[in-house]
Structure 1
Amino acid sequence: MPDPDRRLLLNLPPYPATGYAKLADRIAALIGTKNDVVFVQAEAVVALEAAATSLGAKGMTALNIVTSPYGELFGFWLRRAGADVIDLRAEPGLPVTVAAVAEALAGADRIDLVALVHAESASGILNPLPQIAKLAREKGALFLVDAVASAGGYELDVDALGIDIAIIGPQKALGGPASISAVSISARAWQAIDRPDAPRRSVLSLADIRHNWLDAGRGVLAGMPSALEFQALEAALDRVEAEGIAGTIARHLRAQRAARAGLVAVGARLWVEEERDASRLVTTILLPDGLDARKLAEDDAAVAAGLSAGIGCVASKLLRLDHTGRRASREAVLEGVRAVGRILDKAGVGTDAASADAAVAAAYAGEFGTGSGDTN
């Protein structure tokens, strides 16, 4: 017999037609924008592909900042759509520098679009969003930000920063479902998207979403919207709003600081030395020679503790501790730090479990300062 609680997920009534616009407005408030917010009824990588496919066109020149495989993909999608793409690659697994972006922009006669991933879960790094946003504005370029991981973990004031397109994935810091994405789109970004040669009749067409939903009065979404997913998104937003977005951000900052302190105390080597360059969603350690993060992450205990291998060219040497969403808690951070200690012990690396526990406790007791660090 099916689990009785699971049966409650079946035969849900359609999500209310008036509810979609309300959800979009609530997301807009969380990310600080009066721009249009639309839904892509799929996981965030589809929304990213839709943005690149809808924006990319012959005659466009884009500066695509690559700090992970996601940046690689975005450049591929832009080229496929016809754009000329300049890939600016950071050092493997590390943030891009403001100086490198400034040099790339200065060296180009014209840049129509700058694309950036804000917080990289792949390697646990943070790119300098405000400074790059300023450079993009000065160049007169459209500015697109992959904020899938950072929304909810960082203050994201879309309008103040001049972000023309922001892609949001509720499944990360917002603690919501993975099968719905949101995209905020400025008026000038719509001008670049809704053009005569724009892709149409495609799940990757943002122009279709505009005409089928925004222009139709923001009622029922096209296709067959999942009532289950939208109910889950509403529940996630209820929880974030009850905590307050400032509280959600502060909880991720505290989890980051506790994880970093605990991992250092246990004897691990942080991949990102400076907190300002590190993501609040995952904390990454550099494993000793001879250890493969991909093999270590296959262990059931490692998975349960929120440990996983890095993604991309640094995958084998980086082990990530996830403290995203509901895992941004003292209990989850402590479990992850202890799991790292056990892994290093098995590898013959001396660890100090007691000091690690104390460091996590001290972070949650407020001994590491109260500055928000919300400059990125």
Structure 2
Amino acid sequence: MPDFARHSLLDLPPYPAAGYARLADRIATLIATGNDVVFVQAEAVVALEAAATSLGTAGMRALNIVTSPYGELFGGWLTRAGVDVVELRAEPGLPVTVEAVAQALAGAGGVDLVALVHAESASGILNPLPAIARLAREKGALLLVDAVASAGGHELDVDALGIDIAVIGPQKGLGGPAGISALCVSQRAWQAIDRPDAPQRSVLSLIDIKRNWLDAGRGALSGMPSALEFHALEAALDRVEAEGMAGTIARHVRAQRATRAGLEALGARLWIGDEREASRLVTTILLPEGLDAHRLAQDEAAIAAGLTAGVGAVASKLLRLDHTGPRAGRETVLQGVRAVGHILNRAGFATDERAAEEAVAGVYGP
């Protein structure tokens, strides 16, 4: 990076205090909600822990849906807060089924909270959020959704779905910075959080954020806000709004379909056969027997194309192609598909790279 570019990152002006509320309102518009949007000045895993820590309390009963290590973490945080957690685990690396959720809710008796990850970057799956949201509403339970790897790539109409807390990480589909997160919080969720035993004077305290920012008129944030992160978030929102949220989602749909078409033509085996159950930000393939994803991901072509091993119980079997945010475009998709062909060929498996390129072109056009 040239020296002048480095200095420009260091010498940014402070972010204006009045701008934080505008950013929050812009995010609310993108995810279709009239609920409060607040910021946690850290990566999304901190925001998720803050949500669990602030919401969880002794006597609460939660159904925690686990489809990756992220769901496991959330269940642990709820348990630490004193929550009686009923854990529903999907088959390793696969989406949870609506039937399994309905059965778990029926067998759990009263449930105060349902928590799940919408789309999983760990394995490239998509959980059936609309149906689960409906089941949660029927039970009168609060609904908490980790939307870090879905916002910008999948439809996320927060109010229509009845989501009480949605955690957003701008670094994924929105193409923004990783060092700041947003939480959308309903009034019903605030009522559950605002209680005498709620954690206070803590980076994990959402009630601190409510009292010190929301209730104080949404002016200056407490602490020392990172100007770099907020300027970057504003730039990312400018780009998304210029494209339109529908356009951003459509671009991810196209990248997903082109990637899947290219990989199938290549001869690779898609991990998720049904596109409706697959993430639009990450596509995964199941490697042939005897190949290890962690080793293959060290190939120069894989590194250049951003290919990575899966995360979780089936990590060594899955190779991930990232078409997230700015990467959701023709050239990045083509580079990823070509890289898969290259590393499979080197491992002794025949692939049809020309057919793969034609399949990608068939989605994007000449």
Q: TM-score range by the shorter chain?
A: over 0.9
Work out the CA distance in 2 between the residues paired with 1:137 and 1:215.
28
d(CA) in 1 for partners of 2:335, 2:194: 48
TM-score normalised according to structure 1 size: 0.96
Superposed CA deviations along residues 300-321 of structure 1, whole A, max 9, x for unmatched, are 4312202000001111010000
Q: 1:191-202 alignment to 2 at 5 Å? A: 191-202=191-202
1:1-376 matched pairs, under 5 angstroms: 3-365=3-365
Note the alpha carbon deviations across 1:119-138, whole angstroms, 9 max, x for none. 00000000000000000000
Q: Is the 8 A contact 1:261 1:356 kept in 2?
A: yes
Letter in 2 for 1:233: L
Q: Which runs of 5+ in 1 are unaligned?
A: 367-376
**What amino acid does structure 2 have at the position aligned with 1:320?**
R
Q: Aligned-pair RMSD on alpha carbons?
A: 1.1
Q: Which amino acid aligns with 2:206?
A: L
- Cα pair 1:306 1:323 within 8 Å, conserved: no
Paired amino acid for 2:104: A
**Following TM superposition, by how much is the alpha carbon of 1:2 offset from its aligned partner in structure 2, in angstroms?**
6.8
Runs (5+) with no aligned partner, structure 2: none
The one-character-per-residue Cα deviations of 1:184-214 (angstroms, maximum 9, x if unpaired) are 0000100111111000010000000101100
> How far apart, CA to CA, are the structure 1 residues paired with 2:288 and 2:89?
26
Contact kept, 8 Å, 1:201 with 1:208, in 2: the verdict is yes
More displaced 10-residue stretch of structure 1: 6-15 or 331-340: 6-15
Q: Displacement, 1:295? A: 1.2
* Counterpart code for 2:182: A
Helix, strand or coil at the partner of 1:224: coil
Q: 1:300 to 1:211 in 2, by over 3 A?
A: farther
The separation in 2 between residues aligned to 1:350 and 1:171, in whole angstroms, is 36
Residue 316 of structure 1 aligns to a residue whose secondary structure is helix
Identity in percent? 79
Q: What is the aligned residue count?
A: 366
Give the whole-Å Cα distance in 1 for the aligned partners of 2:149 and 2:47: 13
Distance apart, 1:155 and its partner CA: 1.4
CA contact (8 A) 1:265 1:359 kept: yes
TM-score by length of 2: 0.99
